[in-house]
Structure 1
């Protein structure tokens, strides 16, 4: 394939949120044409996409239209109609990551079964459908346990921590009372939550990003520090597991592998995202090649770029405050006075409580200084409704 054929490619993206927007920003640097599909005409990516198809994510005709307009189709989130993608792939359309890998990953139970079959370590789990089955699994695994919706959860939505038997019924009701597919999972008493961003190209070549150390509150990512403060042994094990995972799923493009580390040095897979991930946002400023540029390179057949970390860096998410309504952002000017601070506002029209509205990154000579500056900068910015 000639260079002209590659850079003339039209990229279709299912989803026009912040991840799609950041993909487009990198794709346009290489002069790709980008078409998005999203039900919101004013979604974050709408202002910079070359074209937008305004349609629901389960609209098979609209997804076919996107594929017809594109040379390669990718996506910014997992919860989309995989059947139409499989049909389109069979007809010769290029879709990455592949619909086959997406079909397994978007169902957490099937995802964990695939990991288990490949001898990749993950917390013990079992499919459940009734209160009695949850109690039975809990008696085997011991409390606390995590009850999870197999399909559709994100940012802690679709998860319920059960600390004792008295909480089983309420957790069951909270997650649909049997209307959704559920699994119960052993709660991991972890020392750290880490994630490995890894990319695989169409030919199978892989590159791995510096490991990120993550802090969550209410199951929402609050802060990412890179490099992670972990031992060399844990680092090597995490990278080894990430490589195994992306090969098992025959992944193409960016994959994020979320993991737990334990006191005895064990590393367990938590969840897999077949796309750029919130915990990889640090790479925009922190690495030679960002996760978004890398993803576009991979799915369009371009060579993968180096993932070298330039300096220690901390990313903090900017969440919507309790006042809901049309988005207003205060404090950016003050935050940008802090050295080496970069602020990203996603362009979501409506702000509501704990919605991801943007993020900031701060680089420094060491991770402690970067964390201190990032905390200060985040405290100066307020995202609210007006």
Structure 2
């Protein structure tokens, strides 16, 4: 029996494990939390830091293939394991590129992927580089940023004091028409399945607020976005599922924003709306199985359930939310609520996209995950 080892035990690992178990595979996870979302589905659990090389090696030794649900892990050890012959997908070489936003953009530019204008800006020269680059601009710290963290928009010279004190990449401020994303699956033999283009709307904290699929953009632009996404994954020689986030600007340009070498928030809709979910697709790719169809079966809207307050989670409004047709609720099982923490998501499917949007906006005002304050 194949055993999949996952570095990380969060919601992505949980949904990955659900698909692995359906195919008869065993699952082992490594996560610092004693009660992580994937724990209940794992055959083996190692409680350890994502940086604990010895424990990652222990996970590899009890698994047939290694993968991960988070980028901020011990890449050095994963590279050593790969060199020793342990199957690790996607390759930790890709992870090394992705972890550094500057390197990520440099690699993509070299591969002739359309990217926004950018420059390197080390911590001690941030203000000088920003003045040279011109305003407005976007600062992205090279490492550690996610869900809007490590990003700062600087519109004028008077705002230079807002710069984050870290080695960074300065990027052009793109005049965005829509933020879009495409999931791409690629197997060990180079076969590719590309998913539909989705459009994303972000909240003030720069966390995905809701997602619409298919994206309401011209068909030629959708095809262009899919082609770029496939080229990105091919340039990385990636194996597994990849989330490719892009900008469609007001001049009609499509520019790469960021790459996620794992299942991604923008692909959650695939569970209910597509022939093969992003999670099953990832399991298939890393275990040598044929890829499934990425066909969209029905339009969908997805939104995140973000935590409100602190403490033990309580889901409010579940019964009323599920009274609407086509509503699917996923609660991740995280033991503690924090404000804006991703506690779950809701997908609404309907043959009429506008009807799906209408229901999603109603349900979004009904269902909440709140902390009990303790």
Quickly name the TM-score band, shorter chain normalised: over 0.9
Tell me what 1:292 maps to: 279
Q: What's the secondary structure of 2:245's corresponding residue?
A: strand
1:224 to 211, 228, 244: 211
Deviations 1:2-52 (A, max 9, x none): xxxxxx211000000000000000000011000000000101111111110
Task: Give the length in aligned residue pairs.
Answer: 371
Which structure 2 residues correspond to residues 192-341 of structure 1 after superposition, within 5 A? 192-217=178-203, 218-321=205-308, 323-341=309-327
Q: What's the secondary structure of 1:210's corresponding residue?
A: coil
Q: Following the alignment from structure 1 to structure 2, what is the Cα–Cα distance between the partners of residues 109 and 198?
A: 22
Q: Following the alignment from structure 1 to structure 2, what is the Cα–Cα distance between the partners of residues 143 and 368?
A: 38
Q: What's the secondary structure of 2:105's corresponding residue?
A: helix
Deviations 1:160-183 (A, max 9, x none): 1112112212323xxxx2xx4211
1:115 aligns with 2:108: yes
Of the structure 1 ranges 117-126 and 194-203, higher mean CA displacement relative to structure 2 is found in 117-126
Which structure 2 residues correspond to residues 38-77 of structure 1 after superposition, within 5 A? 38-77=31-70
Q: CA deviation at 1:140?
A: 4.3
**Contact 2:27 2:43 survives alignment (8 Å):** yes
1:31 aligns with 2:30: no
1:348 to 312, 330, 334: 334
Tell me what 2:74 maps to: 81
2:138 to 121, 139, 146: 146
Q: CA deviation at 1:366?
A: 1.6
Q: CA deviation at 1:215?
A: 0.5
Q: CA deviation at 1:237?
A: 1.1
**Contact 2:6 2:66 survives alignment (8 Å):** yes
Tell me what 1:134 maps to: 126
Tell me what 1:159 maps to: 151
Q: Following the alignment from structure 1 to structure 2, what is the Cα–Cα distance between the partners of residues 362 and 38?
A: 31
Q: CA deviation at 1:129?
A: 2.0
Tell me what 1:169 maps to: 161
Q: CA deviation at 1:318?
A: 0.6
Tell me what 1:13 maps to: 6
Q: CA deviation at 1:192?
A: 0.3
Using structure 1 for the length normalisation, give the TM-score: 0.94
Of the structure 1 ranges 257-266 and 16-25, higher mean CA displacement relative to structure 2 is found in 257-266
Using structure 2 for the length normalisation, give the TM-score: 0.97
Q: CA deviation at 1:138?
A: 3.4
Tell me what 1:92 maps to: 85
**Contact 2:126 2:163 survives alignment (8 Å):** no
Q: CA deviation at 1:365?
A: 2.0
- The Cα RMSD (Å) is 1.1
Tell me what 1:102 maps to: 95
Tell me what 2:171 maps to: 185
Q: CA deviation at 1:142?
A: 2.9
Deviations 1:155-205 (A, max 9, x none): 001111112112212323xxxx2xx42111111111000001000000000
